[in-house]
Structure 1
Amino acid sequence: MASNPVITSNKRPLGRLFSYARTQRRFIWMAITASVLNKIFDLAPPVLIGAAIDVVVKREDSIIAALGVTDVFSQLVWLAGATLLIWGLESVFQYAQAWLWRNLAQTIQHELRLDAYAHIQDLELAYFHEQSSGGLLSILNDDINQLERFLDAGADQLISVMTTALVVSAAFFILAPGVAWMAMAPIPLILWGSFKFQRLLAPRYAHVREQVGLLNGQLANNLSGIATIKSFTTEDYERARIEHVSSDYREANRKAIVLSSAFSPLIRMVIVLGFIATLVYGGHLALEGELPVGVYTVLVFMTQRLLWPLTRLGETFDLYQRAMASTNRVMDLLETPIRIDNGEQSLEPAQVAGAVHFDNITFGYPNRDPILKNFDLKIPAGATVGIVGATGSGKTTLINLLLRFYEPQSGKLSVDETDISKLDLTDLRRAIGLVSQQVFLFHGTVSDNIGYGTFDASAEEIERAATLAEADEFIAQLPQGYQTMVGERGETLSGGQRQRLSIARALLKNPPILIFDEATSAVDNDTEAAIQRSLNRVTRDRTTLIIAHRLSTVRNADFIVVLDKGGIAEQGSHDELIAANGDYARLWRVQTGDIGHLAD
């Protein structure tokens, strides 16, 4: 099986994000429009101030008088009304842009996280063997949050700067073309510097995102293995490892900060030159009478409104680059191909007889030799089959293939003579109940964990499944019975108790095919006996595969398959295999302590 490639797209991250958010484009354009209008009305007060100065200086000859309002006091009243209207509109559009951008940020963040999580669930198990859970959590949480922060504030800031540059540039060339070039001269240099910094920052922030993924992965791994860390007293060692990874993350941030922090001071010095030129040369023209005082006032205010916001471009580009680095990571995840295609043929569990056929199967995990080679095994419907063999002989691999966690390199696997690759994955897995060696319980009540996956089960059905699994007795002794909280991963229960809850969960599903994967490997003798009694009851009228190291677990199976080196070494009932005096018989004697026969 080929491993998942690392996805690298030639698209720009902003384009990838815009393509993804196509369902929100109407709201995006509404938010952009609100930001533009808010900034236009925000730029109007300097014009009103200039007009007011023009009224005071020129009186009946002012610009307002040219509009037909000749009385000076009436001109001031007119300006007051215009000011009230403009500030009111500015407030309306400021509210609109804030409301739209913030809700867009939350909506896109929500949809991205759900889509990314749903895509992760559809990926085959091989993908998870190549990725750390902490790295995936970093994408689902930290990277998507970075994007949310940019949409919440940075997007509006970029649009505001661009709107300011366009509006003020147009106003300058209309009011005073001779002075305009002085205010505009720094802008090309500022824009060139901005894009140059953007290109330099992009790889540094991409490295930052990689490092935070590694750090989260190490932290998640350590927290899940805290019992092992404590038992081996390796707290200092693990702290040193976290310190090392955290230092790498800090160093990656430091390199990005060194560059991003230099942006604003450098741009500020370029900006001040344009402001001084407008202040001095425009003032000279006003003193010579070549430029109206009101217009000069507007130019000074407009220059400040144009140039000083550019000093914040450093912070905005910092937000932007962090967000785009995160966007690439999220989009790369979403574009990771799903290697296991869903079949189109439906399957009703109630109609499944349960015959299973491994037909000439060859399979190996990525970059390893094949575990199964031309493997062929027919399991009749309703049969109970024991599967035993040495570690690495392929026992659990059979289960992974039957559940389509992996695909074989060659051969065909069928249920009731139907190729499982043609079956709907959900229907296939609903027809199979799995009791794994590694029992996973969710944080919740005992009842919640038994009913997991069969969410419409009644309390009576849950209790009946627990009784079949011989879990009802210990559940009754818990503080709140079926409503007792089991804690994260079920850590408040013993291994045997967790195993019996897992059996009850599978039985509640009532599947036609039932799999026990090393269900008794880590339990005591009493628990094994209880599980064995459960097996004797629940295997009736259903196909059952029992994978076991303890041969006592499979002794009563209809037939037992002994695996060795990717194939079947022996096959038969317990008595037949004992009589054959092969590997199974020797292992049976070791486990039962029949030392006398070992000498034979």
Structure 2
Amino acid sequence: MNSDINHPLSRLLKYSRKYRSSIYQAITCSILNKLFDLAPPVLIGAAVDVVVQKQDSIIAKLGVKDVFGQLTVLTILSVIIWGLESLFEYGYERLWRNLAQNIQHDLRLNAYSHIQDLELEYFESRSTGRLLSILNDDINQLERFLDVGANEILQVLTTVVIISGAFFFLSPSTAWMTILPIPVIIWGAIAFQKLLAPRYGDVREKVSLLNGRLANNLTGITTIKSFTTEHYEIQRVRKDSEAYLDSNQKAIALSAAFVPLIRLVILVAFTAILLFGGMEVEKGNLAVGTYSVLVFMTQRLLWPLTRLGQTLDLYQRAMASTARVMDLLDTPITIHSGDTPLALENVKGAIAFNHITFAYHQRQPVIEEFNLEIPAGATIAIVGSTGSGKSTIVKLLLRFYEIQKGSITLDGMDIRKIVLYDLRRAIGLVSQEVFLFHGSVRENIAYGNPHVSDEEIINAAKIAEAHDFIMSLPEGYDTIVGERGQKLSGGQRQRLSIARAILKNPPILILDEATSAVDNDTEAAIARSLTHITENRTTIMIAHRLSTIRHADCIYVLEKGQIVEQGKHEDLVTKGGVYSNLWRVQTGE
């Protein structure tokens, strides 16, 4: 029972409940279309009956005696039936295809929205390519099945039920010959489905690995070129692509065998009805028109079953993809928003870390029983060696990760109780890993504030000492920066990220190694801009370059997740401790 609930199709139907009305309409149109599609063989049989039996035909028994009149009735019926068949074909085509588009649209948006709510740890243990494969390829695979496969399955089932009933009504003595192969075909279809499922699951995993490799290599193309590893990477992509090819070939080898085997079973049934039905006509036990209907119906019943192979192929691919999408949607969200709203104008910016303990997944604690109080409006700096916990503090304050012990408060309120959107809106982050989106300089500065004026954008750029270099670009503020800002230098990207933070105008500003990858001139320019940026707001500066933090109200030195020194720059230099040693190394004294 539990396996039925967890089956991808059950999960998909549960997910698609809001489209239940459209699904029922599509099913109705598919069934009605098939009913009218099965009518022409009956009309052909009736026409043969008219020509052979004339005044004794079935149509004649309805009151129309002359042959021309009977054929006219059949002609009118043909027009009506073909018209209705075409109408319902239009209906199911439109309904199923719109359903496919709507469901894949919702799935992609919901999956992407769910991904954005997951903690950073989720992304650190999974490749971007795998996630892209789910959001694109897997959802598209499901769309292809809904476009074609769902209707195919319904029409095959309708054909089996209607024609089987008609056979037993028209000629019970020969009906079993046509019906007998159907259980064999259905059993074969189920057996193939069970064998195909794990093979297509493996196909989906292999394509994820391939997509991950390609996405990773395209992102790191500069590194590949600089290390001249193009041939090495081609070999690695070839290996992943061959694994995907091999996985597909194993699935194809099985799925391709379905149709030829089914054709052999169908041949037995078709020749049986052709031979034994003909003998029944010869004996006078079966009318010629009825025999014609049976022969045509046999073909209409059995040959569509050969398409079950292609339909099953689509179905299994879709179910493998659906399972991966649903597993993503079922990934639990570990960081939940609080329900207390936070008005930006009321934020003073007093921050306190109280007895914080935090460890990354299955690792030793990075910080343990950590305490730090930052007064509202103060500019503090945090320094320390790599791995001392500096950036971890920032991630915990922004709730990118959840603490295991202790609490962090903002203006005396536990940040876990604050609406997550409001908390992050109150904090501006300038990271050492600057990410610019493919678009114009203007769009990147205004990111998160799409309705700001050009005047505000230019003013933020001037404060960040970015306006002059922007105006020297070919198209000024309309210059396209390229993917990840690759058309700009590191210092230029950094200044744009500072301008972006200025425009956000948050009550709390975090500068995480904001000058780690810039030259001395850019560092001086950023230092000048910081004197304006840090006014009237709480500022946390994390830096290796001590020259950028020497004017902080208080400097905290971290070692192994603990504060080992604190004070103003001059006091720490004269103290002769860890900070003093770092200062002497950096100044060359």
User: TM-score interval w.r.t. the shorter chain?
Assistant: over 0.9
Distance 1:511 1:443 in 2: 24
Which of 326, 329, 345 does residue 321 from structure 2 map onto?
326
Q: How many residues align?
A: 587
Note if 1:457 corresponds to 2:456.
Answer: no
Which deviates more, 474-483 or 325-334?
474-483
Note if 1:579 corresponds to 2:574.
Answer: yes
Q: Equivalent residue for 1:447? A: 442
**SS state at 1:367 partner:** coil
- Tell me which amino acid in the other structure corresponds to 2:454: A
Distance 2:69 2:360 in 1: 86
Note if 1:48 corresponds to 2:13.
Answer: no
Note if 1:94 corresponds to 2:89.
Answer: yes
1:265-414 maps to which residues of 2 (within 5 A)? 265-414=260-409
**SS state at 1:357 partner:** strand
1:196-595 maps to which residues of 2 (within 5 A)? 196-594=191-589
Do the aligned partners of 1:496 and 1:527 also contact (CA within 8 Å) in 2?
yes
Deviation at 1:127, TM superposition (A): 0.5
Distance 1:358 1:455 in 2: 34
Note if 1:36 corresponds to 2:16.
Answer: no
CA distance 1:364–1:480, shift in 2 (3 Å) = same
Note if 1:181 corresponds to 2:176.
Answer: yes
- Tell me which amino acid in the other structure corresponds to 2:402: E
- Tell me which amino acid in the other structure corresponds to 1:28: I
**SS state at 1:149 partner:** helix
Deviation at 1:454, TM superposition (A): 1.1
**SS state at 2:16 partner:** helix
1:49-198 maps to which residues of 2 (within 5 A)? 49-198=44-193
Distance 2:244 2:215 in 1: 16
Distance 1:340 1:373 in 2: 20
Per-residue CA shift, 1:441-499, capped at 9, x if unaligned?
A: 01111110000001121111111111110001101111111111111111111000000
Distance 1:412 1:548 in 2: 25
- Structure 2 residue runs without a partner (length 5+): none
Distance 1:538 1:406 in 2: 27
Per-residue CA shift, 1:344-399, capped at 9, x if unaligned?
A: 00001111000010100000100110000100000000000110000000000000
- Tell me which amino acid in the other structure corresponds to 2:347: V
Per-residue CA shift, 1:115-138, capped at 9, x if unaligned?
A: 000000011101001110000000
Do the aligned partners of 1:387 and 1:545 also contact (CA within 8 Å) in 2?
yes
Distance 1:82 1:480 in 2: 70
**SS state at 2:400 partner:** coil
- Tell me which amino acid in the other structure corresponds to 2:189: S
Per-residue CA shift, 1:15-49, capped at 9, x if unaligned?
A: 11111011111101100100000000000000000
Deviation at 1:9, TM superposition (A): 9.2
Deviation at 1:10, TM superposition (A): 5.4
Do the aligned partners of 1:363 and 1:371 also contact (CA within 8 Å) in 2?
yes
Distance 1:9 1:442 in 2: 44
Which of 9, 15, 27 does residue 14 from structure 1 map onto?
9
- Tell me which amino acid in the other structure corresponds to 1:68: G
Which deviates more, 247-256 or 398-407?
247-256
**SS state at 1:230 partner:** helix
Identity %: 64
Distance 1:331 1:68 in 2: 61
**SS state at 2:526 partner:** helix
- Tell me which amino acid in the other structure corresponds to 1:357: A
Do the aligned partners of 1:9 and 1:332 also contact (CA within 8 Å) in 2?
no
Distance 2:558 2:470 in 1: 37
Distance 1:432 1:41 in 2: 65
Deviation at 1:268, TM superposition (A): 0.7
TM-score (norm 2): 0.99
TM-score (norm 1): 0.97
**SS state at 2:70 partner:** helix
Distance 2:422 2:22 in 1: 39
Deviation at 1:139, TM superposition (A): 0.2
Distance 2:239 2:477 in 1: 45
The structure 1 segments of at least 4 consecutive aligned residues displaced by more than 3 Å after TM superposition are none
Name the Cα RMSD after superposition: 0.8
Do the aligned partners of 2:350 and 2:410 also contact (CA within 8 Å) in 1?
yes
Deviation at 1:536, TM superposition (A): 1.1
Do the aligned partners of 1:450 and 1:501 also contact (CA within 8 Å) in 2?
yes
Per-residue CA shift, 1:75-130, capped at 9, x if unaligned?
A: 00000000000000000001111111111111111111000000000111010011
Distance 2:528 2:546 in 1: 15
Per-residue CA shift, 1:294-344, capped at 9, x if unaligned?
A: 000000000000000001100000000000000000000001000001100
Distance 1:9 1:485 in 2: 52
Per-residue CA shift, 1:192-238, capped at 9, x if unaligned?
A: 00000000100100010011001100110011000000000011111
Distance 2:24 2:126 in 1: 37
Distance 1:269 1:348 in 2: 74
Distance 1:486 1:296 in 2: 75
Deviation at 1:12, TM superposition (A): 1.1
- Tell me which amino acid in the other structure corresponds to 1:372: I
